[in-house]
Amino acid sequence: MTDFIRFFISIYFILFFTVSFLGISIAVAKKIGKNPNVLPKDDSAYALIGWYFKLVLAALFIYTLLLLWFPATIDKAFKITLLETVFIQYAGVILMIFAFIWVVIAQFQMKDSWRIGIDDQVNTKLITTGFFRFSRNPVFLGMSVSLSGFFLAFPTVIAFFFAVIGSVLMQIQIRLEEEHLLKQHGEVYQAYKMKVNRMLRLY
């Protein structure tokens, strides 16, 4: 593993969390007058999914910091040497950069409708323009691509675990949000579902 890859991954996720979660949350909170993080804190199944999601994000953040502080130890742990080639690693870097830009743009396109979780208290506007013409869930799509790029840039079993578990949790969250949006927007959302794929429309 080159020093560039090590520093890039650590700085990347620091920026990702700072901009895409903290920064966007503060910006939206100022506009709507409430915290956009509306994940429940009760004992429901949905709250459990939210807790798992936050746990995975925290573990990912800690893992990338450990990579920065203890590169020799972390780099050797559960490495998949077959994928550790310059071409694959830098392809992963390119995917991560693309995904970060994609996510931030998609979040801005959501404007006041952006939430972390499902907001049952406010009828948010259904966004169907911008990236939402090609994906019903461009933010989750970008996050999935980011985790896949991370695995390619740093091919370890642990990075693969983050990519798989993160994608599974996002797919569960997506389906919960779809049920909510269908109740909130009815036939308008149903028509949108028929037109645009869940993750990406390639035509």
Backbone angles phi, psi at 37, to 5 degrees: -80, 100
Residue 36 confidence (pLDDT): 93
pLDDT tens digits for range 72-94: 888 778 899 899 899 999 999 99
Short-list 147, 151, 148, 119, CA closest to 57: 147
The per-residue pLDDT of the chain, averaged, comes to 93
Residue 131 confidence (pLDDT): 96
Would the pLDDT of 203 be above 80? no
Work out the pLDDT band at 120, boundaries 50, 70, 90: confident
Would the pLDDT of 164 be above 90? yes
Are the beta carbons of 89 and 5 closer than 8 angstroms? yes
CA-CA distance, 59 to 40, in Å (whole number)? 20
Alpha helices (runs of H) in the chain, residue ranges in sequence order: 3-16, 24-32, 45-69, 71-76, 86-110, 138-153, 157-185, 187-195
